[in-house]
Amino acid sequence: MFFKRFYDDNLAQASYMIACEKTREAIIVDPNLDVAQYTRAAGAQRVRIAHVTETHVHADFVSGAHALAEATGATLHLSAEGDAQWGYTAGAMKRANPLRDGTEIIVGRVRLRAAHTPGHTPEHLSFIVSDLERGEDPVGALTGDFVFVGDVGRPDLLERTAGATGSMATSAKDLFVSVRKFSRGPDHLQIWPGHGAGSACGKSLGSMPQSTLGYEKLFNWAFAETNESDFVARVLEDQPVPPRYFAVMKRVNRDGILPAPHTEPKQVGLEELEGALRDKAVVIDTRPAEKFAAGHVPGTLNIPLGKSFLNWTGALVPEDRDFYLVIEGESAEAALVTADLAKIGLNRIAGFFRSDVVQAWKSRHGKPETVPQLDAAQLHDIMAGMEVQIVDVRAPDEWSHGHLPGAIHIPLAALPDRVGELDPSLPIVLHCKGGGRSSIATSFLQANGIAGVSNLAGGYESWVAEGFEVEK
């Protein structure tokens, strides 16, 4: 049996190729939109992609299952389990072989048995893999968003992104049952999850690429919790705010819509930038936070390129509006960024600016806007002498472990919906753990016309290091 893991750092997402070395047939599980990576890998291994499947209707990226099956002529397999309202639509299933609990996909001398593991979503499947050349006993499980290293998939997304009111408690109970049932498997069973650390599909995902069921029984909290009500309370507690693009992805992937091909953005100049800002268009400055803070064009939003770029862009940028990019590199880098954004359904890029547009704007309009930075001691002194709004943009679990006295908790992903809660007549200081997320949040407020904002350099960690008071 040939096994290959594909990992997209920017999505914290894993997909897999499993092939029979005798018949040279392969199956791809949970492909993303970059379908060429799978066809290249198949060519390199001299195997034919005969089957394509996925564990569930994904919410955090555009599925490549339909596109890959169409490009290769492979058989597409999709879950027919779960609630018809939230599972795949009839249109998507017309092109697919339906999978139910116990259905087998035979790939030469490799067998994948579908196991219905609801909880994260009602239709979720895991695939129990056996290398029949070695024996009937399974070697591993492709667990998708069911079991991660150190955690399990969140059961609240249908309610929080798709409007399925009241579903999170029921889904959490389903997840408890799925975990208990899955725990009866052999300890040697390898766990191949669909996400790693950094994904918003769980609270505390581990960074290891794989695990074993025996190891998870020892160290994964979900396997240790044997009381249903305690499990439900714990799995729902302090889940991160889902980026708003999740709702769009859920609809696109449920319907099996093949996305329109993205086109490389054209480079534009100062006049286009001035026009975009007059029209209140979103302009994303992708430079590092330090450079943006030192000087940027007023009205632009800073989301630095890096592993979290897609997550925060999907959280802060509307999918139904054109937007622009400011990029330090050449056209080739713009093309790479465009391809990444397409993976989360953001393909309305009207153009990109080279970063020297900031200097051009300065030459025409004068001093650029900056982001004031405060250290912990300066903030402590300010709080002692005047009223100031402290906005903590960390995740709920971080907040619950300790926060600055009197702080307002607005996780970064929730900021577009809750910005109206802030009083623009008072100074605002934003912070996160170390300063990265709060830099984005500060730029978001500035881009939306709110002045008097500052960033706490070093974040909560610097505050604690100074020994200042915290609340819990």
The count of other CB atoms within 10 Å of the CB of residue 187 is: 12
Rounded distance between C-alpha atoms, residue 193 and residue 171, angstroms: 19
Residue 259 is predicted with a pLDDT of 72
Q: Which residue has the higher pLDDT, 290 or 262?
A: 290
* Mean per-residue pLDDT, 275-299: 97
* Mean per-residue pLDDT, 108-122: 97
At residue 165, does pLDDT exceed 90?
no
Rounded distance between C-alpha atoms, residue 58 and residue 64, angstroms: 10
Across all residues in the chain, what is the average pLDDT?
95
- Candidates 273, 342, 393, 432; catalytic one: 432
* Mean per-residue pLDDT, 186-208: 92
2-255: CATH topology: Metallo-beta-lactamase; Chain A (3.60.15)
Rounded distance between C-alpha atoms, residue 283 and residue 62, angstroms: 23
Query: One fold for both 270-365 and 373-465?
Result: yes
- For residue 200, name the pLDDT band (cuts at 50, 70, 90): confident
The count of other CB atoms within 10 Å of the CB of residue 218 is: 11
- For residue 330, name the pLDDT band (cuts at 50, 70, 90): confident
* Mean per-residue pLDDT, 329-342: 90
At residue 260, does pLDDT exceed 80?
no
Residue 236 is predicted with a pLDDT of 96
Of the chain, the percentage scoring pLDDT greater than 90 comes to 90
- For residue 162, name the pLDDT band (cuts at 50, 70, 90): confident
Global confidence as pTM: 0.94
- Enter the tokens of residue 48: 């034919």
Please list, in sequence order, all residues whose beta carbon lies within 8 angstroms of the beta carbon of residue 14, skipping any fewer than 6 positions away: 5, 6, 7, 8, 30, 192, 193, 194, 195, 196, 209
- For residue 309, name the pLDDT band (cuts at 50, 70, 90): very high
Rounded distance between C-alpha atoms, residue 68 and residue 48, angstroms: 12
At residue 311, does pLDDT exceed 80?
yes
Angstrom CA distances, 9 to 35, 388, 433, stand at 16, 38, 21
* Mean per-residue pLDDT, 428-457: 97
Residue 332 is predicted with a pLDDT of 84
270-365: CATH topology: Oxidized Rhodanese; domain 1 (3.40.250)
Residue 336 is predicted with a pLDDT of 93
Listed residue (153, 314, 159) closest to 249, CA to CA: 314
Listed residue (465, 394, 376) closest to 432, CA to CA: 394
pLDDT in tens, 139-161: 999 999 999 999 999 999 989 88
- For residue 356, name the pLDDT band (cuts at 50, 70, 90): very high
Domain boundaries, the chain: 2-255, 270-365, 373-465
The domain covering 373-465 belongs, at the CATH homologous superfamily level, to Rhodanese-like domain (3.40.250.10)
Of the chain, the percentage scoring pLDDT greater than 70 comes to 100
Listed residue (467, 405, 403) closest to 432, CA to CA: 403
At residue 213, does pLDDT exceed 90?
yes
- For residue 377, name the pLDDT band (cuts at 50, 70, 90): very high
pLDDT in tens, 31-65: 999 999 999 999 999 999 999 999 999 999 999 99
Residue 201 is predicted with a pLDDT of 87
At residue 329, does pLDDT exceed 90?
no
At residue 195, does pLDDT exceed 90?
yes
* Mean per-residue pLDDT, 433-438: 96
Judge whether 432 counts as a catalytic residue.
yes
* Mean per-residue pLDDT, 76-96: 92
